[in-house]
Amino acid sequence: MVCCFLMILPKVPGHLFRKIGNIFQKEYNLRVKIIRLILLGLLAGAALAVGLLMGRMRPQDVPAAHAPRIEKRLVAKTFHPAPPGVRTPEPSVDSAAPRLTDEERQLLKLQRRLDRPGALPNEALLKFASADALRAFLARADKAGIKLLGQHEGLHVARVSYEQLEQLRAALGSDAEASDITIDPNFSARIPDILQREDRPSGTGVASFEGEGFLNAVGAKGDRATWGQGVMVAVVDSGIEDHPTFAAHQLTHVDLVNDGQPFNGHGTAMASLIGGQDWQAAGIAPGVQLLDIRVADASGTSDSFTLAHGITQAADAGAHVINISLGSYGDATVVREAIAYAQGKGAVLIASAGNDALGSQLSFPASVPSVVAVGGVDANFVQAYFSNTGLGLDVVAPAVGIQSAYGKSSIIIGDGTSQATAIVSGVLAQALASGATTTAGAAEWLKQHAKVLSLAPERGGAGLVQVK
């Protein structure tokens, strides 16, 4: 048939051939459209059937594998901007998670209090309104699996550790919401490393005070053998070694770490700048009594609780000046309470601004307004390259290329606001010994007699501390 068709095909006129082709093409297109419509109809019918089936299923009939897991749902609210002049309130735990149970809310609040930068993990400092309240908590704490790491009866403070936050919450009970209990993290505190010459960057703030240059810079000249007599300066630090620069009767030791490890040399360096007697490690006031309060271990690490304990120990021992050449950036209530306690006993606290070259940020406790905050300058009397700055800075002192004792018998040359702080403590010790000021007026005296420098107040405070 096909052969016959092919044989006669050449005899068919061209216009007829085109008509036949068009007929076949139209028929083909029509069949394709019909097939498409049929397929679309089948698909629509199948989708409708599935939808009807799913709509009739009960919630428990839906396969669990396909159900999304929703832990908590937040209520969606339309945002309406506050009118001009109206302050938008901070979001609370209740508004942020309205479906939380009361117990979950309390745990979240507790977690937010304790999980802060610099906090020691799984530790808390709890300050109670009375000794009775502290004792009542301690009775519950043992049953809840809370470990007591230390307590300060005078401040009604307990240092505790826990494995699970729920344990601490259970031990606190109703006290967790009481207004007369303070719950704080126990922040890590450190003595800074003594910066060496090779650590210095290029640029300004790096000129060294050679030899006794730092003594001359603050006016500590002439025979100083009796300077500081009758004054006790507590060095709350890493411990003081019996270095040859100290007289045998000059040191009293209190060790709050008691780890049996060798002392970090930082504390010895600070003490020598305050009251060292040897010319190689000379201090501002060689006649001063030095109270060694060790609060930092061999690595230079301490914490808020131990620091607070050291401050109160120094005050109870009768220290006139408390030198704190260490710190953190965690503001702890227990340390503030210890500062207030010491000041109530007539002590002056002097603390380092910090060596992190931070702008508008003093180390804690130097950031406490009632504490004398000390920054550092170099031999050209410009801000030391590492010194923190802030509007709370009170005075500055030599801090670059400072020679001091170190360890049992060594001499070191280093940089730091720690050294500047010790120099200020020595200057104040002599001022108190000479009757130039009292502990009550010490902070103002230091600022009034400081040498004005070409530095903004946040960089240089009232100026370079001076002996008058």
Q: Which residues participate in catalysis according to the annotation?
A: 237, 266, 418
For residue 48, which phi and psi values (nearest 5 degrees)?
-65, -40
78/355 Cα distance (integer angstroms): 48
Judging by DSSP bridges, how do beta strands 289-294 and 232-237 pair with one another? parallel
107/101 Cα distance (integer angstroms): 10
Q: Which of 338, 346, 270 is nearest to 310 (CA)?
A: 338
170/457 Cα distance (integer angstroms): 49
Q: Which of 199, 438, 406, 150 is nearest to 321 (CA)?
A: 438
Segment holding 141, helix H or strand E: helix 131-143
- Pair 313, 294: CB distance under 8 Å: no
18/10 Cα distance (integer angstroms): 13
Segment holding 322, helix H or strand E: strand 321-324
CB atoms closer than 10 angstroms to residue 69: 5
Name the token pair of 36. 């498409």
Judging by DSSP bridges, how do beta strands 251-255 and 188-190 pair with one another? unpaired
* Sign of torsion over alpha carbons 95, 100, 103, 108: negative
Query: Helix or strand or coil: residue 134?
Result: helix
Q: Which of 180, 155, 185 is nearest to 342 (CA)?
A: 155
Segment holding 310, helix H or strand E: helix 304-316
- Pair 389, 458: CB distance under 8 Å: yes
Amino acid at 201: P
* CA 349 to mean position of chain CA atoms: 21
